[in-house]
Chain A
Amino acid sequence: MLTQLRPAFVLIVALTGITGLAYPLAMTGIAGLVFSSQAAGSIVLRDGKPIGSALIGQSFTSARYFQGRPSATSAADPADAAKTVPAPYNAGNSAGSNLGPTSADLATRVKADLDARQVENPELPVPVDLVTASGSGLDPDISPEAALFQVSRVATARALPEARLRALVESKIEGRLLGVLGEPRVNVLALNLALDDLGSR
């Protein structure tokens, strides 16, 4: 067994160096050159200032903006560090609700969100993704149905014609990749940025 000590020791040290340092650091260098925007987190600038990442959802609560999905992320309670408080779209602590299919808490939460959404727009059925929390709590997207569902509310809040907003939403729908992979979706941040541009014109 003693003869095995040297290979074990040398290989641990050498392979640690190769796979644990050389590889990630070299990839960081190359990725930064070849795909500099993505490597840095696909940061979105507005007037030269970062306002978020194109890939990470943000919390929108105003009626003037399209809103994303419920988010179950939390943060440390400022009053008591041992506890947590709800903090939707906390991109420093991703999480889902982890509520199971027979959870009374889940049923209560979904019912409350459902009722509130239905008041906003009694005409259409509430899309399921608008009342269910995403896996990461940071879902940047909503379904096209969920965006169209909010058109009447945003139109009222901004005093814009509904048809114009509907056209805006439709222009922001991303389809399946090659018509096959993934699901159709609308990036909420991109939609709201376009919405702000629309208002200022």
Chain B
Amino acid sequence: MTFNGWFQIALFGAVVLALVKPLGGYMTRVFTGERTLLSPLVEPVERGLYRFAGIDRDQEQHWLAYAGAMLLFHAFGFLVLYALLRVQDLLPFNPAGQAAVAPDLAFNIAASFVTNTNWQSYGGETTLSYLSQMLGLTHQNFLSAATGIALSIALVRGFSRASAKTVGSFWVDLTRTTLYLLLPLCIVYTLFLVSQGIPQTLGPYLDVTTLEGGRQTLALGPVASQVAIKMLGTNGGGFFNANAAHPFENPTALSNFVQMVSIFAIGAALTNVFGRMVGDDRQGWAILGAMGALFLTGIAVVYAAESAGSPVLNALHLSGGNMEGKEVRFGIVASALFAVVTTAASCGAVNAMHDSFTALGGMIPLINMELGEVIVGGVGAGLYGMLVFVIVTIFVAGLMVGRTPEYLGKKIEGREVKMAMLAILCLPLMMLGFTALATVVAAGLAGPANAGPHGFSEILYAYTSAAANNGSAFGGLTANTAFYNTTLAIGMLFGRFFVIVPALAIAGSLAAKKTLPASAGTFPTHGGLFVGLLVGVILIVGGLTFFPALALGPIVEHLAGAAGQTFGTGG
């Protein structure tokens, strides 16, 4: 570890923090329907859309209608994407002549992008046409991100309203998020990315004769416009197989820095939106504080582990840390930081191969996802995931002092706690259940590329990433098979919708309650004690559930590696 390394990390933290208030203020105006700087430009488009779609922007929805609208919209989106992939060979913008995508892979990709997971069973440059990348993936990147944000706002309305029947209009939230927030940011961002060297072209792949006289085919495409939304919307699905490690997706140290900031920007600002909408900024900062504490712990471990390197390679008298799977322009620190950021948020883009991280360096990304990606988290998903944990924390605190728990003046009762637990329990069921299945059936055991405990980690990482809607991978796993494509897709769909629907139920139930004035006995939820309690609940719930699985994978691998043991034939 070096001073420069820690300085890069500190600079990253400072820039993210500096963006929280301005971005939070703008987003609050967008979600409360106020006029913004962009209104003169965007409002005519917005009005036009509402007119064609028959939407009354003032008509709000009960939480059930909100959830129904969201599910219906996703069902349509899923079908459109699936159909597009199945017939991409017949459609234009396919200079590389990509064939139609196979049914199981198309199912997996559709589930993956609709749920904001962006798991890559496919290699972009060898599978997808330019049209599929734009019309299919870029488009779903916008809509799944907008959906996440819309849902978190609906939950915030649950807390901020009193005796209300409705939680907002899904159609209005979706449209405004896309038009006022994501699209304008992406337009500026795309141009910046192209200036750094990311291609943005519809031209065909280029065949060249290299300096030494060899042949090289350069895969190109409309890359920048997709990278912009994949980062900002915490989608993470790469245009290319190697994702943000590919020099065409992430060419410079600056593009890398801005990409990391953009993964966190909206998620972090949403805590500020939350504070503003419930009328107490400190509530937002407390939540961001809990996220920050978990984040700093994670980066410290990964940075230390990757700097120290793998004992097996160090035994060969190599020094300089673990560079297998990392790019020289990023080095150890920017690769370690990216890995923590992308799994803390539900992004899943990678600028280094997590599969080749040291055992402990690869364990932190796993833990980040197992905790439900509440450390900043996916756009929207992080906030509603965190608020679910807040409800459990408040409930635990209430049990300790023997009072009916309250949060922001709302009584937290049986229904909310039940829904919160439903959302929390869905993740380990998918992650551990499918991992267990894959380790006993032949189709699952055929997947891992690495032998020994690392092979188990590859399977565990895959289902964890899918259910947490992250999308990053221990990429050695051969996941493009009927077994993995299908089970991972199921994990993604359950991991998304069985968290969203209970979160909306909580929103509806809270919105209907009265807001009670704070009294002397109210537990303050903006101070250090609450932040500590919240972090404790997150770690204990996550730790107790996943520790046995981690012990079988990264922990035993770490101990074996320290003893100099290797696995596999070595041929």
Contact = CB atoms under 8 A, between A and B. Distances in A.
A91 to B, nearest CB: 5
B208 A103 contact: no
A58 B352 contact: no
Contacts of A78: none
Contacts of B183: 18-19, 23
Given A38-B195, A55-B197, A102-B454, A14 B52 contact: yes
Nearest to A54: B197
B334 A182 contact: yes
Given A23-B138, A126-B318, A181-B11, 7 more contacts: A18-B178, A35-B194, A41-B218, A52-B208, A56-B218, A100-B362, A136-B240
14 contacts: A7-B54, A10-B52, A31-B190, A41-B218, A62-B212, A100-B476, A101-B312, A101-B358, A104-B570, A108-B571, A114-B318, A128-B318, A129-B328, A132-B324
Contact of B191 (A34, A69, A183): A34
Contacts of B328: 69, 129, 134, 139, 141-143, 183, 185
Contacts of B356: 96-101, 106, 135
B76 to A, nearest CB: 5
Nearest to B136: A20
Nearest to A189: B211
Chain B interface size band reads 35 or more
B410 to A, nearest CB: 28
Given A16-B139, A103-B567, A141-B329, A60 B212 contact: yes
A27 B325 CA distance: 32
Interface in A108-144: 108, 110-111, 114, 125-129, 131-143
A105 B475 contact: no
Interface stretch (B245-253, B381-389, B487-495, B497-505): B245-253
Contact of B206 (A41, A111, A127): A41
B123 to A, nearest CB: 6
B406 interface: no
A95 interface: yes
A94 B240 contact: yes
Given A65-B211, A141-B328, A180-B7, A102 B76 contact: no
B194 A98 contact: no
B559 to A, nearest CB: 10
A34 B359 CA distance: 45
A75 B566 CA distance: 28
A74 B287 CA distance: 45
Interface stretch (A42-50, A149-157, A162-170): A42-50
Nearest to B309: A128
Contacts of B253: 176-177, 181-183
Contacts of A10: 49, 52-54
B473 to A, nearest CB: 9
Interface stretch (B220-228, B370-378, B542-550): B220-228
Interface in B179-209: 183, 186-187, 190-191, 194-203, 205-206, 208-209
Contacts of A38: 194-199
B327 A141 contact: yes
A56 B126 contact: no
Interface of A: 1, 4-12, 14-16, 18-21, 23-25, 27-28, 30-32, 34-35, 38-43, 46, 49-62, 65, 69, 89-108, 110-111, 114, 125-129, 131-143, 176-177, 180-183, 185, 189, 192-193, 196
Contacts of B317: 125
A92 B205 contact: yes
B17 interface: no
B245 A136 contact: yes
Interface in B249-271: 251-254, 256-257
Nearest to B198: A38
Contacts of B72: 1, 4-5, 8
A132 to B, nearest CB: 4
A5 to B, nearest CB: 7
B69 interface: yes
B323 to A, nearest CB: 4
Given A104-B566, A129-B323, A182-B334, A95 B214 contact: no
Contacts of A103: 450-451, 454, 566-568
B296 to A, nearest CB: 19
B211 A192 contact: yes
Given A101-B454, A102-B567, A128-B320, A27 B77 contact: no
Nearest to A111: B316
Contacts of B69: 4, 7-8
Contacts of B566: 102-104, 107
| Top 9 A-B pairs, shortest CB-CB distance | A182-B253, A20-B139, A135-B245, A104-B570, A98-B476, A183-B331, A94-B242, A100-B454, A96-B353
A4 B54 CA distance: 9
B460 to A, nearest CB: 13
B452 A102 contact: yes
Contacts of A185: 328-329
A52 B216 contact: yes
Contacts of A6: 53-54
Contact of B200 (A27, A97, A135): A27
Given A100-B356, A176-B253, A133 B200 contact: no
Contacts of B475: 95-96, 98
B211 A52 contact: yes
Contacts of B212: 58-62, 65
A89 to B, nearest CB: 7
Between B171, B325, B569, the greatest number of chain A beta carbons within 10 A of the residue's beta carbon is seen for B325
B449 interface: yes
Contact of B201 (A15, A39, A91, A142): A39
Contacts of A55: 197, 247-248, 251
B568 A104 contact: yes
A160 to B, nearest CB: 17
A21 to B, nearest CB: 6
B480 interface: no
A24 B357 CA distance: 34
B353 A177 contact: no
A6 B329 CA distance: 50
B242 to A, nearest CB: 4
Contacts of A34: 191, 194-195
Contacts of B321: 128
